[in-house]
Amino acid sequence: MPDASDNWFEFISFGRSPLTGRPVRILVVSDLHYSLRQFDWVVAAAPAFDLVVLAGDHLDISSSVALDAQAVVVLRYFQLLQESTRVAVSSGNHDLTGSDAQGEQAPLWLDEARALGVPTDGDSLFLDDTLITICPWWDGPAGRAAVAGRLAADAARRPRRWLWVYHWPPLGSPTCWTGRRHYGDADLGDWIAEHRPDVVLTGHVHDPPFKPDGSWVDRIGDTWVFNPGHQIGPTPTYIELDLDEQRATWVSLLGVEEVRLTDAVAPPRTVL
């Protein structure tokens, strides 16, 4: 197994804003798929939050715009976000642009995001007393081993709260329900069972919040799992996560739903 520190940044520490004194608030979006209107919305919303999490699939392989050109534009959006708040960016399957040193597909363009100081795949950062581990979309045994190594390393030094950014929801969860089948990641479920993080922020499967028996939220043991889903239009689906107030709010074209993180289980949904 590769050393857990290979190609991974050391911790980046961020504290609560001394100007506001307000509880730490996190904005979570995923699967923007090169929707520039939705990126514009995120940039406009970002100053109201202490951290913006973009949980993968920033690019769109079905677009007529070449991936390298998309990457240039999206990197500029990352810069704009970084100018107004803190940012955490993970990769998704649409973000893969070439082979890495191990011959596995990887989002090579995100190296430029890291060079700009944007925390991304493999980085771990602190936001007050919360450790945030950003996991890449891995494509083979070397990538999987690197993720396993990082999670084990961070588990050994976790503070009061631990949050993961991981593009694919766990298998069997309503956050990966397409309306016909569960389309999830079995490895993530195993890692959740092993390490029991407080929160996992995902994406990848667009449909779950909009399907009967699907959801934007799940609780697996001690762990809350969130997937904001995907919708068309100028505003993305998004989650507001307030770890101090112990509240998560999902906003979409369906309306607004909220859960309390002090609940033992995810409540039943009444919107669908």
Close Cβ partners of 64 (under 8 Å, ≥ 6 residues apart): none
Phi, psi of 40 (to 5 degrees): -60, -40
pLDDT digit string, tens, across residues 92-150: 999 999 999 999 999 999 999 999 999 999 999 999 899 999 999 999 999 999 999 99
> What pLDDT band is residue 17 in, cutting at 50, 70 and 90?
very low
Q: What structural domains and CATH numbers belong to the chain?
A: 12-260 (3.60.21.10)
Q: Specify the pLDDT at position 128.
A: 87
Structural tokens at position 230: 């995907």
Handedness of CA 156, 223, 122, 48 (dihedral sign): negative
- How far CA 234 is from CA of 6, 41, 152, 204, 231, in Å, comes to 39, 7, 39, 19, 9
pLDDT digit string, tens, across residues 243-267: 889 999 999 999 999 999 999 999 8
Structural tokens at position 243: 């770890």
CA atoms within 13 A on the CB side of 126: 14
Q: pTM of the full predicted structure?
A: 0.92
Q: How far is CA 76 from the centre of its chain?
A: 19
- The arithmetic mean of pLDDT across residues 197-203, rounded, is 98
- The arithmetic mean of pLDDT across residues 224-246, rounded, is 96
- Kindly state the DSSP code that residue 11 receives in the 8-state scheme: P
Structural tokens at position 9: 């940044």
* Strand bridging mode 255-260 / 247-252: antiparallel
Residue 79: how many other CB atoms lie within 10 Å: 15
List % helix, strand, coil for the chain (3-state, nearest 5): 25, 25, 50
Handedness of CA 233, 170, 74, 88 (dihedral sign): positive
